[in-house]
Chains A and B, each alone.
Chain A
Amino acid sequence: MTVCEILDPLLTAESWKQAGREVAIATVIETWGSAPRPTGSHLVIDGEGNFEGSVSGGCVEGAVITEALDVIESGAPKMLEFGVADETAWRVGLSCGGRIRVYVERLG
């Protein structure tokens, strides 16, 4: 594997699955305003919470990983939406002020 392949989430997802690991794929479906990663970006997650790739600049990955574990468990895809972090500072959000929609599906 070249460096470029190690950093490629979709190649990672394929090799994880072939090694018998459960895998979910998260994809940025839509962005509004200033979003750190463009539409089509991927984050892939395994059943243990290991991940590769990104759907934001690290702002919402934690929440996506948690949801992905649910998706792996149930098999039902989920649509997630994240917006600008409001005054309830503990809520997950995008500090850059944008909004994104992320689709999470299980790799079957």
Chain B
Amino acid sequence: MQLEVLTKLNAARRSRRAAVVVTNLANDQVQVILEGERVSGLLGEETAKAFRSGKAGTVEVEGRSLFLNVHLPPPRIVVIGAVHISQALARLAPVAGYDLTIIDPRTAFATEERFEGVELIADWPEDVLKDHPLDAYTALAAVTHDPKIDDFPLSEALRVGCFYVGALGSRKTHAKRVERLKEMGRTDNEIGRIAAPIGLDIGAASPAEIALATLAQIVQAFRRRDLVTAG
């Protein structure tokens, strides 16, 4: 592989663009194909298939043995609430390969000092999500406890099909939340997708432990998303 090829691939990965690396196993020729680039013939069909499945593998094209490696953008986490749990989650997420953004309109919580080096947006979710829409590659965790801040992004995450939707709060708090989300037009099926109380049940007690349990639950939701859609 030539350095120029690797540089192009890494630039695409940094800007969250999907890419397929095609290696001709017979002569060491390597090319990078970015999502949206036109490729004709059988190779075009095979790369399109690879983008869809996200799976790497070897294909035969016109008598050549080609290895296709797929690089999809890493899933990201949007956290509603710049609270103590979010501080720990912001440290853990990058280790697991997840991009993370925190949104909280309360400027007392959303300070640079508490979240050094973290993408932090001190504004209302209604306004932020207009420019940064949620999608199927995004996990949403709402952790403010405040319906004025949490409800809109929760409803939006369910509507667009975020692969994970979690909400902090006791079962009692959640029961009230369910009623409000119904009034916002969400169906029982959609609301049933919310992980609440948030996080895998590992007996988490401290904010850092709750962050860990939440990240583990997000990983589980992402890795098993195909099984869910197939079922």
B6 contacts A27, CB within 8 Å? no
Interface string of A1-38 (1 = CB under 8 A from B): 01110010011011001100000010101100000001
Residue pairs across A and B with CB atoms within 8 Å: the count is 58
- Which stretch of A48-56, A60-68, A100-108 is in the interface? A100-108
Residues from chain B with Cβ under 8 Å of A13 in the complex: 6
Q: Which stretch, B7-15, B104-112, B140-148, B183-191, touches the partner chain A?
A: B7-15
| In the assembled complex, A77 has its CB within 8 A of some CB on chain B | yes
Within 8 A of B (CB), among A82-104: 103
CB under 8 Å from chain A, chain B span 3-58? 3, 6-7, 9-10, 13, 23, 25, 28, 30, 55-58
- Chain B residues within 8 Å of A106, by CB: 1
Are A4 and B94 in contact, with the CB atoms below 8 A? yes
Partner of B25, one of A3, A10, A18, A103: A103
Beta-carbon nearest neighbor of B93 in chain A: A4
| In the bound complex, CA of A3 to CA of B97 (Å) | 9
Given the interface contacts A10-B13, A30-B58, A105-B28, does A3 sit within 8 Å of B95 by beta carbon? yes
**Size band of the B side of the interface?**
20 to 34
* Minimal Cβ-Cβ distance residue in B for A41: B56
Q: Number of A interface residues at 8 Å Cβ cutoff, please give it.
A: 24
A40-B56 contact in complex given A4-B97, A14-B7, A29-B67, C-beta closer than 8 Å: yes
A70 to B95: give the CA distance in the assembly, Å.
32
Q: How far is the CB of A39 from chain B (nearest CB, A)?
A: 4
Distance A77 CA – B69 CA, assembled complex (angstroms): 17
CB of B229 within 8 Å of the partner chain? no
How long is the Cα–Cα vector from A17 to B3 in the complex, in angstroms? Answer: 8
Q: Nearest-CB distance from A32 to chain B (Å)? A: 13
Tell me, yes or no, whether B206 is within 8 Å of chain A by CB. Answer: no
Q: A27, B67: Cβ atoms under 8 Å?
A: yes
Contact with A along B84-102 (1 / 0, CB 8 A): 0000000000110110000
A108 to B1, CA, bound (A): 6
**Complex Cα gap A9–B95 (Å):** 14
A27 CA to B70 CA in the complex, in Å? Answer: 12
B69 touches A103 (CB 8 A): no
Contact in complex: B6, A107 (CB < 8 Å): yes
CB contact list, B149-182 vs A, under 8 A = none
Which residues on the B side are within 8 Å of A40 (C-beta)? 56, 69-70
9 extra A-B contacts, CB within 8 A, seeds A10-B10, A39-B56, A103-B23: A2-B117, A3-B95, A14-B3, A27-B67, A39-B55, A105-B28, A106-B1, A107-B1, A107-B2
Binding site for B on A (CB under 8 A): 2-4, 7, 10-11, 13-14, 17-18, 25, 27, 29-30, 38-40, 77, 79, 103, 105-108
Residues of chain B touching chain A, judged by Cβ–Cβ distance below 8 Å, are: 1-3, 6-7, 9-10, 13, 23, 25, 28, 30, 55-58, 67, 69-70, 74, 94-95, 97-98, 117
A-B contact pairs, 14 of them (CB 8 A): A3-B94, A4-B74, A4-B97, A14-B6, A27-B23, A30-B57, A39-B55, A79-B25, A103-B25, A103-B67, A105-B1, A107-B2, A107-B3, A108-B3
